[in-house]
């Protein structure tokens, strides 16, 4: 298997953004390219959880390839609920490991904050079991039930559990305060945590990751760089809580971790720091146990002893985690890897005591039903790509699309028909028959427009064009001319005008 | 790169089905496994275009892995609009080619017929450019505009174009009449075609693939079988028609084909038959030109000369194509490959004159914006897997989930709390505070239920359970007991009952 390296990583600021999903992804891609010796890619892997319902964007892989002007490059979208970013990375990893592609761009993002909390919560809850949703269960509710069970199983008092969860929230907000990409860049006090409202007992607002917009990018390459991906692993588990053997661990993480450690040839004790999926603070504890960092039931104690802090023996979520960096669901799995790469390279704003050599990222899909683990290692090799020759099998797909001549200018008010149709089976809100044509305006720009009339349609016909609301209308010129001629005839016959005198074309004709 | 082989393929009957998407996928998987020497897989790749909006299924990869009882196997969903099935196959191909997995299951499906035509058309139209949708454009409208342009460019008269499209529809329905999986298994006459209603000029109803439910499955393996995948290629193009250089070809298909031919080391003339994406009859012509089978503008003539018929020199869509087999969007790209494998193995109901050796499948995402090409070859080796030993790196993830003890029986009306929460931020339609608990009933079955009351919740507490509508309600027993004791006290004090006599538990208590 071909070794796979990281050439560059990038990220938008996480938080509330006015940008579209495609714009966020483009910004993340530009950020990754700015630090990467690889500037052209053979393929694009997009991770997104549910752009269909969050923003009404379907066919997102093609849409993003076009927005990035990648000129025909193969593009797929990968989805595994909230671990989609990590799953896109793993699919891209396999494509490079196979030798089929040399350089690929992984882009992952989600746009969520434009929706109300209840609308976003409804879409997020679609990843859990249907029967459980019917009872009113949400992601926080199920996370809370897992937490209560954990508390009981490991005989933690209510106040000790609260103390542990509070320490995780305070730690992750402190870590996030050093992270320029984090949604929340302010430390919080214990009092702030303890006075925050209950979302679902025993979880408070500060136990839950926020709703966030953001995107992250990773460029993978088969040519040696300073960072290698040495282990990947992936596992699934039941959707429903009622289908599980254990309520205090995630089988999917255990499967993924076992495979990733085996592939990398390392044990949990050889990991220097980890980014884990703390969508809820108790999940950080469970993750560190499932990953083998601490014995089952001992994750909380490790937090209390400061082992998982920035200065601890095994920093967990030094970036601030989902809790503080934010959680644009599809982006998170890729963002963790970007953060880990920065830290391995010594580019992170806060450093651990020693320069770390090996990082682990763990991403969770749904309620722990689709989880992935990625292990990265610093190789102490320079970042620059050794050889710039292209492999003979590299695909002939990297030409950029010719931009339209006047992409930014408004279309002119005249043009001609490039092609057309009359639609008899129309979508809701449009009455048949509906004339549609692709018009090329005087500046050479193509515009899709609705016809005011279904007659006289022919390729090449001259038309007038005008904008009405959010779309364009066209009128065939010859049609107007015929109307004018007929009118002239009538007028002549009726002797309303002297014989031979024709009505002059007026400004009005252009509507 | 590890050579990738096909171990088994399967498919449901395409058409209108009362089964859920998960059930359709399970049936397709069972069908593929029934003919496959590989019975256990390392990973699952699911192709589906938009189950979020078609059926409200999110997190589909985990859902399907669980429905198949694959016991924790890695599962991802791949999406590239209507070519999702082919894209899932290609992602799976790369995973096997890399050596990371040995055996993988590709499952692709869509469930669409339960929706009205206008609702399905709206979801399907989300894959096209937003500005073009605002004008009222649909997939058939844009396909029609491409067709009109093609007619004009290659100087076909209206009647000749109609004749060619009619021949394609008649040919594909005839081919489909031999296919037991096809949605339409009746030949159609020219008169039927010519009298069918106009959908969008010049396209008639019989030019358009139907709305369909269905699923297909492919098992890939790194161990030699009788069929190898020798070439894969993938390309993208603009979403919008207004962004394109050409309206009479699909650049994405040309890129994909060029890469696949290069990888397989073959030319178009060495292909024995092809399954292409005839979502609209004119697209079959354009595909055969983009694939290099016929010169630009000559695809129609090839149809007229009978070259693309079952007995022709290059049968196109011998299965009946999307037109007759049906088009459950996400399933189609995988279904084409299943059909091709059957034909290469000589298992198809209609045979070509010679036993074919090499097949090509072409799949289109959106309006030609995300297209894939797959080349398959018969190797004349036996189907049986050479060696059954497991590779040392094969993942430890194939144990089946322990079934719940009484999965089919109704839950009993008593049980105890396994875990619980009180939810304060509830989804729409539920008033806070909402008690939720996971109850284990007397038969050992787990049930998510809503509490009638938020007090006395504790893990281990005994409860009564009853079904109300589509979900369960629970009441803590001790709570009832306390009420009863208080009542007994009152009754005793008020001397309504003789001292010492307690109210007996009644049937009513169980609600």
User: pLDDT, tens digit, for every residue of A219-258?
Assistant: 999 999 999 999 999 999 999 998 898 999 999 999 999 9
A196 CB neighbours in chain B (<8 A) are: none
Instruction: Find residue B371's DSSP bridge partners.
Output: B235
Percentage of chain B exceeding pLDDT 70: 89
Residue A493 pLDDT grade (very low, low, confident, very high; cuts 50, 70, 90): low
pLDDT of res. A503: 44
What structural domains and CATH numbers belong to chain A? 4-378 (3.40.47.10), 414-510 (2.40.50.840)
In this prediction, residues B14-28 reach a mean pLDDT of 97
pLDDT of res. A160: 98
Pick B127's closest partner by Cβ from A59, A95, A449.
A59
Would you say residue A387 has pLDDT above 50? no
Mutate to test the interface with A, among B20, B60, B72 (most CBs of A within 10 A): B72
B53-92 per-position pLDDT tens digit: 999 889 999 999 999 999 899 999 999 999 999 999 999 9
B397 CB neighbours in chain A (<8 A) are: 235, 255, 259
Would you say residue B191 has pLDDT above 60? yes
- Kindly report the nearest CA distance between residue B351 and chain A, in angstroms: 34
Of A109, A100, A104, nearest to A70 (Cα)? A104
Partner-chain contact A366 B62, CB within 8 Å? yes
pLDDT of res. B480: 66
Mutate to test the interface with A, among B49, B52, B59, B107 (most CBs of A within 10 A): B59
In this prediction, residues B272-278 reach a mean pLDDT of 98
Mutate to test the interface with A, among B68, B79, B134, B434 (most CBs of A within 10 A): B79
Would you say residue B454 has pLDDT above 80? yes
Q: For A235, which residue in chain B has the nearest alpha carbon?
A: B74
Would you say residue A388 has pLDDT above 50? no
CA dihedral for A269, A272, A276, A280, sign (positive or negative):
positive
Q: For A429, which residue in chain B has the nearest alpha carbon?
A: B136
B57 CB neighbours in chain A (<8 A) are: 126
Among the residue ranges A71-75, A156-160, A199-203, B424-428, the one predicted with the least confidence is B424-428
B475-506 per-position pLDDT tens digit: 998 766 777 777 777 776 654 444 444 444 44
Partner-chain contact A118 B428, CB within 8 Å? yes
Partner-chain contact B430 A134, CB within 8 Å? no
Instruction: List phi, psi (to 5°) of B369.
Output: -95, -10
Partner-chain contact A136 B98, CB within 8 Å? no
What's the predicted TM-score (pTM) here?
0.90
- Kindly report the nearest CA distance between residue B410 and chain A, in angstroms: 14
Pick A397's closest partner by Cβ from B136, B140, B235.
B235
- Kindly report the nearest CA distance between residue B299 and chain A, in angstroms: 20
pLDDT of res. B351: 66
DSSP string, A223-262: S--SEEEEEEEEEE--SSGGG-S-SSS-HHHHHHHHHHHH
Cis (ω within 30 of 0) for the bond into A466? Answer: no
Q: For B371, which residue in chain A has the nearest alpha carbon?
A: A74
Partner-chain contact A238 B401, CB within 8 Å? yes
Pairing of strands B43-47, B75-79: parallel
Residue A379 pLDDT grade (very low, low, confident, very high; cuts 50, 70, 90): confident
Say if residues A350 and A188 touch (Cβ distance below 8 Å): no
Q: Label residues B262-286 b or e (16+ Cβ within 10 Å = b).
A: ebbebeeeebbbbbbbbbbbbbbbb
Six-digit token string for A161:
């559990």
Pick A402's closest partner by Cβ from B245, B427, B429.
B245
Instruction: List phi, psi (to 5°) of A373.
Output: -130, 135
Say if residues B338 and B106 touch (Cβ distance below 8 Å): no
> Is residue A321 left, alpha or beta, with left meaning phi > 0 and alpha meaning psi from -120 to 50?
left
In this prediction, residues A299-317 reach a mean pLDDT of 97
Query: Which one has a higher pLDDT value, B384 or B69?
Result: B69
Report the alpha-carbon distance of residue A123 to residue B56 in Å, rounded.
Answer: 10
Report the alpha-carbon distance of residue B282 to residue B152 in Å, rounded.
Answer: 13
Say if residues B359 and B246 touch (Cβ distance below 8 Å): no
B155 CB neighbours in chain A (<8 A) are: none
Pick A72's closest partner by Cβ from B61, B95, B236.
B236
pLDDT of res. B385: 59
B148 CB neighbours in chain A (<8 A) are: 419-421, 459
pLDDT of res. B426: 87
pLDDT of res. A260: 98
- A-to-B residue pairs, Cβ atoms closer than 8 angstroms: 399
- Kindly report the nearest CA distance between residue A205 and chain B, in angstroms: 10
In this prediction, residues B302-313 reach a mean pLDDT of 97
Q: For B471, which residue in chain A has the nearest alpha carbon?
A: A135
Residue A484 pLDDT grade (very low, low, confident, very high; cuts 50, 70, 90): confident
Distance, first Cα to last Cα, chain B? 65
Of B331, B322, B323, B511, nearest to B414 (Cα)? B511
Pick B137's closest partner by Cβ from A62, A402, A436.
A436
pLDDT of res. A384: 63
Residues whose CB falls within 8 Å of the CB of residue A135, separated by 6 or more in sequence, listed in order: B436, B448, B449, B450, B471, B472
pLDDT of res. A383: 67
pLDDT of res. B405: 46
What mean pLDDT is reported for chain B? Answer: 90
pLDDT of res. B178: 96
Partner-chain contact B122 A428, CB within 8 Å? yes
How many CB atoms within 10 Å of residue A1? 17
Six-digit token string for B179:
């296919």
B255 CB neighbours in chain A (<8 A) are: 72, 74, 395-397
In this prediction, residues B209-224 reach a mean pLDDT of 97
């Amino acid at each position: 298997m071909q070794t796979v390296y990281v050439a560059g990583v990038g990220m938008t600021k996480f938080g509330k953004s006015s940008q579209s999903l495609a714009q966020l992804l483009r910004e993340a891609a530009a950020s990754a390219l700015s630090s990467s010796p690889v500037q052209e890619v053979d393929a694009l892997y997009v991770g997104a959880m549910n752009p269909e319902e969050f923003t009404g964007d379907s066919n997102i892989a093609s849409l993003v390839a076009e927005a990035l002007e990648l000129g025909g490059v193969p593009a797929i979208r990968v989805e595994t609920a909230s671990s989609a970013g990590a799953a896109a990375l793993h699919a891209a990893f396999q494509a490079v490991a196979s030798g089929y592609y040399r350089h690929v761009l992984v882009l992952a993002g989600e746009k969520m904050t434009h929706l109300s909390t209840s609308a976003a919560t409804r879409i997020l809850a679609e990843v859990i079991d249907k029967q459980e949703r019917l009872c009113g269960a949400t992601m926080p509710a199920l996370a809370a039930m897992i937490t209560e069970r954990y508390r009981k199983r490991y005989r933690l008092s209510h106040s000790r559990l609260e103390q542990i969860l509070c320490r995780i929230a305070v730690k992750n907000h402190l870590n996030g305060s050093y992270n320029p990409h984090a949604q929340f860049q302010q430390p919080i006090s214990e009092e702030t945590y303890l006075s925050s409202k209950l979302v679902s007992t025993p979880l408070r607002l500060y136990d839950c990751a926020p709703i966030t917009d953001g995107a992250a990018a990773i460029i993978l390459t088969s040519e040696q760089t300073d960072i290698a991906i040495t282990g990947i692993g992936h596992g699934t588990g039941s959707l429903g809580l009622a289908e599980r053997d254990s309520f205090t661990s995630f089988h999917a993480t255990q499967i993924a971790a076992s495979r990733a450690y085996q592939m990398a040839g390392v044990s949990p004790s050889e990991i220097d720091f980890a980014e884990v999926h703390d969508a809820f603070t108790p999940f950080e504890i469970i993750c560190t146990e499932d990953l083998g960092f601490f014995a089952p039931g001992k994750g909380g104690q490790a937090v209390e002893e400061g082992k998982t802090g920035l200065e601890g023996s095994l920093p967990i979520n030094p970036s601030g985690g989902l809790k503080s960096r934010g959680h644009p669901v599809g982006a998170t799995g890729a963002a963790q890897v970007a953060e880990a790469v920065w830290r391995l390279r010594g580019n992170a704003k806060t450093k651990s005591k020693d320069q770390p050599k090996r990082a682990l990222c763990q991403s969770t899909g749904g309620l722990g039903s689709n989880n992935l683990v990625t292990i990265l290692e610093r190789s102490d090799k320079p970042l620059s790509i050794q050889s710039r020759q292209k492999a003979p099998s590299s695909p002939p797909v990297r030409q950029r699309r010719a931009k339209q001549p006047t992409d930014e200018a408004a279309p002119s008010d005249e043009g001609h028909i490039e092609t057309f149709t009359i639609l008899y089976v129309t979508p809701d809100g449009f009455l048949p028959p509906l004339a549609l044509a692709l018009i090329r305006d005087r500046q050479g720009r193509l515009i899709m427009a609705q016809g005011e009339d279904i007659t006289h349609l022919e390729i090449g016909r001259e038309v007038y064009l005008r904008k009405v609301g959010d779309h364009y209308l066209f009128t065939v010129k010859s049609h107007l001319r015929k109307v004018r001629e007929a009118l002239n005839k009538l007028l002549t016959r009726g002797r309303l005008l002297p014989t031979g005198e024709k009505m002059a074309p007026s400004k009005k004709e252009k509507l």
